Amino acid sequence: MGKQLVVLISGTGSNLQALLDHGALGGEVNRVVSDRPDAAGLERARARGVDAVCVAPGAHDDRRGWDAALCDAVAAAAPDLVVLAGFMRILSPAFVNRWPVLNVHPSLLPAFPGARAVADALDWGVKLTGATVHFVDEEVDHGPIVAQEAVPVRPDDTPASLHRRIQAVEHRLLPECVALFCHDRLAVRGRQVSVRA
Is 105 an annotated catalytic residue? yes
The CA distance from 121 to 124, in Å, is 5
Residue nearest to ligand GRF (CB): 86
Write the single-letter amino acid at 23. G
Q: Which of 105, 134, 163, 171 is catalytic?
A: 105
The CA distance from 54 to 46, in Å, is 12
- Residue 13 near ligand GRF by CB under 6 A: yes
The CA distance from 39 to 107, in Å, is 23
- Residue 175 near ligand GRF by CB under 6 A: no
- Residue 157 near ligand GRF by CB under 6 A: no
With contacts defined by CB under 6 A, name the span among 13-21, 45-53, 61-69, 72-80 that binds ligand GRF.
13-21
Q: Per-residue x/- mask for ligand GRF, residues 94 to 133, rule CB under 6 A?
A: ----------xxx---------------------------
Question: Which residues of this protein are in contact with ligand GRF, per CB under 6 A?
Answer: 9, 11-15, 41, 85-86, 104-106, 167, 170
